[in-house]
Amino acid sequence: MSLRHALLALLTSEPMTGYDLVKSYRASASLVWHAPDSQIYPELRKMKSEGLILGTPVPWGEHTTKQQYSITEAGVRAFREWMNTTLEYSRERDPAHLKAAYFEWATPEAAREQLLAHIDHYRTRAEIWRSMTTALANHSDPTLTRRLRAFPESWEAIIEYKIFAYEGLVAQAEQQITWAERGLELIDRLSGRAHLSPEGGSAPLETLGTTQRSR
């Protein structure tokens, strides 16, 4: 459901073609809610069929047209409604922490590599989000510029809330990095004696044998 609202959000600034949206999306919304191009076009058609957006064909070259999408009043209403409805929090879905809880089953090398990948991932994210924050603060982000043009009276809130969101993501990433670094130290301390070796397996498997060979 969020893809749809991210697209509506983008279209509140100005009408755009599918391709424009894909690009805008990649440059802004995808930093918070990833979606592949192949999901965006069909979603746009669905939104159009539901009357949230309007698709106007505009000429492209001599022989063809492209769709220019603009948000309708129903679309604005739907977006506002989503914005004014408190999100439900429910699912816990964290494969990295799930894995970490069972690191004794990995080789120390694999566990280390996992955490290094974790660090790498969040370092990259943090950089992206940090540069987004500065782009917002300088007004150098093009998506922001278009938005400020559309709503000059709200420029302060527009900028501040976006910076707030991205700074939160940066802080989150930094926390993840700190955590993973602590994990690396822990692996160094425990590696060897305490891990369940990956090939040997005899010790762990014996303790499991009772029923698995029954019948």
The listed partner (a second copy, DNA, none) that binds 74, CB under 5 to 8 Å by sort, is: none
Whole-number minimum distance, CB 26 to a second copy, in Å? 12
Out of 26, 45, 99, 130, which residue is the one contacting DNA (CB under 7 A)? Answer: 45
Nearest C-alpha neighbor of 104 from the set 188, 208, 189, 190: 190
Q: b/e map of 88-114 (b: 16 or more CB within 10 Å)?
A: eeeeeeeebeebbeebeebebeebbeb
HSE, side-chain direction, 13 A CA sphere, residue 123: 9
The answer to whether 32 touches 165, Cβ cutoff 8 Å, is yes
* H or E element, residue 193: none
Out of 10, 29, 35, 170, which residue is the one contacting DNA (CB under 7 A)? Answer: 35
Sole window of 24-32, 33-41, 191-199, 204-212 interacting with DNA (rule: CB under 7 A): 33-41
* Nearest to DNA of 101, 157 (CB atom): 101
Is 1 a binding residue for DNA by CB under 7 A? The answer is yes
Sole window of 20-28, 164-172, 185-193, 195-203 interacting with DNA (rule: CB under 7 A): 20-28
